[in-house]
């Protein structure tokens, strides 16, 4: 290696500064190469969830020769543009038979809305908005075709399209009509059919609906009906007589393969000779505090069995009395209970009321 002898001090100092700059540049290059090597190692040998990073931003390190590591997203053509293909693995799949009956429901705007308020000219019908819902009526299923007529405003006005809004629905953007949701919930909660049997019943009719989707419909329907539950509970506790009971139910404990004994409490009441409202309340145990929480500030007559939780409420003077074998405070409640219930088959012996 040839070396150049430099005798000028100023030239020697310049050469030192130049060498320092080169060393600094080499260090930066080595750091960059190490980062790229670490990134590449993770893509090839890292865990599956870390291998491919598809959402690279403009600051992400890049280097030549490895562009093909990022796979192209699967596409399907849709008339003039492309859209990412859904990969839901059947979680919300619905398959209907080709011969399923179709019933049309045409929704139009009012006659007043068909006249432009600015120009006084009639609107021109230009098409339809069509949507479908799977519906049910006793004994059969059918496809409800909802047709909403579209109208164009005159050119002299600000322009635009006028269409009637969709009818209000329990679950927005749901492919199931309220009639079908009611049928599924009735089969599950009134007929005690699990969802897999409901799914099998639909499959025999060549209507394929995934069980996760059925489950989601049931959950969302329950949440949507919560205000109705609150109103029913309000009417029950607003009546003079409330009927209460609890029954054990098996609760599967996750991960243990065993069942735990939980309880379902029911309250019935409301104005009328036969209690028109019933609400159900799930609890993990049978603790006395649950019935107190459910009744809240209720101070009427409670009809129940001999469970001690109800007797506790009576002793705390939170109720007029607890019928069906419970001890009442005779001096306070005897006349009221006789007036209300003796004519209906109740009889009195000492301070204990039997029915």
Integer Cα distance of 192 and 195 in angstroms: 9
Q: Do the domain assignments include residue 143?
A: yes
Burial class from Cβ neighbours inside 10 Å (0-12, 13-18, 19+) for residue 188 reads middle
CA distances to 87, 150, 165, 185, 232 from 102, rounded to whole Å, are 29, 21, 21, 23, 36
Q: Could you read off the pLDDT tens digit of each residue along the chain, which spans 355 residues?
A: 455 566 677 777 777 778 888 888 888 888 888 888 888 887 777 665 544 554 445 555 555 554 555 555 555 565 555 555 555 555 567 888 888 899 988 888 888 888 887 777 888 888 888 888 889 998 899 999 999 998 888 776 666 788 888 889 999 889 999 999 999 999 999 999 999 999 999 999 999 999 999 999 999 999 999 999 999 999 999 988 889 999 999 988 888 778 889 999 999 998 877 888 999 999 999 998 898 899 888 888 888 887 888 878 777 766 655 555 443 443 334 444 333 333 333 333 323 332 2
Task: Assess contact for 135 and 118: CB atoms under 8 A.
Answer: no
Q: Are residues 209 and 267 in the same domain?
A: no
Judge if 126 and 170 occupy the same domain. yes
Looking at the fold, whether 196 and 108 belong to one and the same domain comes out as yes
SS3 state at 196 = helix
* Same domain assignment for residues 148 and 195: yes
Q: How many CB atoms lie within 10 A of CB 55?
A: 6
* φ, ψ dihedrals at 333, nearest 5°: -115, -5
Dihedrals phi, psi of 38, to nearest 5 degrees: -65, -40
Is-contact 320 301, C-beta < 8 A?
yes
Rounded distance, CA 328 to CA 330, Å? Answer: 6
CA distance 252 to 64: 55
229 and 151 assigned to the same domain: no
Collapse the DSSP code of 261 into the 3-class scheme (helix H, G, I; strand E, B; otherwise coil) and give the result.
Answer: strand
Domains held by the chain: number: 2
Do 282 and 170 lie in one domain? The reply is: no
Q: Which domain holds residue 214?
A: 94-223
- pTM of this structure: 0.59
Query: Both 252 and 319 in a single domain?
Result: yes
**Phi and psi for 291 in degrees, rounded to 5?**
-65, -35
Distance of CA 293 to the CA centre of its chain: 26
**Number of Cβ atoms within 10 Å of the Cβ of 198:** 19
Considering the domain architecture, whether residues 171 and 240 belong to the same structural domain is answered as no
Please indicate, yes or no, whether residues 100 and 161 belong to a single structural domain of this protein. yes
The closest alpha carbon to 84, from 124, 63, 54, belongs to 54
Within this chain, do residues 185 and 244 fall inside the same structural domain, yes or no? no
Residue partners of 262: CB distance under 8 A and separation at least 6: 248, 249, 250, 251, 282, 283, 284, 285
- Asked if 137 and 236 sit in the same domain, the reply is no
Task: Assign 268 to helix, strand or coil.
Answer: strand
Query: What DSSP string describes 289-324?
Result: HHHHHHHTT--SEEE--S-HHHHHHHHTT-SSEEET
Nearest to 325 by CA among 352, 343, 302: 352
Examine the domain organization and report whether 292 and 334 are in the same domain: yes
Six token digits for residue 119? 């120009």
């Amino acid at each position: 290696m040839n070396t150049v002898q430099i005798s000028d001090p100023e030239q020697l100092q310049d050469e030192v500064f130049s060498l320092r700059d080169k060393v600094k540049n080499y260090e930066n290059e080595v750091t960059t190469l190490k980062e790229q090597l670490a990134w590449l190692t993770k893509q090839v040998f890292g865990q599956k969830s870390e291998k491919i990073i598809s959402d690279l931003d403009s600051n992400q390190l890049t280097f030549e020769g490895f562009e093909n590591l990022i796979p192209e997203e699967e596409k399907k053509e849709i008339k003039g543009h492309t859209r990412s293909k859904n990969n839901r693995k059947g979680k919300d799949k619905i398959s209907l038979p080709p011969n399923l009956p179709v019933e049309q429901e045409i929704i139009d705007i009012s006659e007043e809305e068909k006249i432009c308020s600015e120009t006084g000219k009639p609107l021109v019908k230009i098409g339809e908005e069509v949507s479908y819902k799977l519906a049910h009526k006793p004994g059969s299923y059918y496809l409800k075709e909802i047709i909403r007529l579209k109208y164009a405003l005159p050119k002299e006005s600000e322009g635009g399209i006028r269409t009637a809004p969709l009818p209000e629905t329990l679950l927005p953007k749901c492919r199931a009509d309220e009639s079908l949701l009611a049928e599924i919930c009735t089969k599950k909660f009134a007929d005690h059919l699990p969802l897999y049997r409901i799914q099998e019943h639909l499959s025999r009719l060549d209507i394929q609906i995934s069980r996760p989707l059925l489950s989601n419909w049931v959950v969302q329907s329950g949440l949507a009906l919560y205000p109705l539950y609150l109103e029913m509970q309000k009417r029950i506790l607003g009546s003079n007589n409330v009927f209460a009971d609890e029954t054990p139910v098996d609760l599967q404990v996750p991960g243990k393969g065993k069942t735990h004994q939980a309880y379902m409490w029911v309250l019935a009441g409301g104005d009328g000779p036969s209690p028109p409202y019933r609400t159900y309340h799930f609890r993990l145990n049978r603790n006395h505090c649950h019935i107190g929480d459910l009744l809240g500030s209720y101070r009427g007559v409670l009809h129940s069995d001999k469970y001690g939780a109800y007797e506790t409420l009576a002793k705390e003077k939170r109720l007029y009395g607890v019928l069906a074998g419970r001890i009442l405070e005779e001096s306070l409640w005897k006349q009221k209970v006789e007036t209300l219930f003796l004519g209906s088959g109740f009889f009195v012996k000492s301070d204990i009321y039997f029915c």
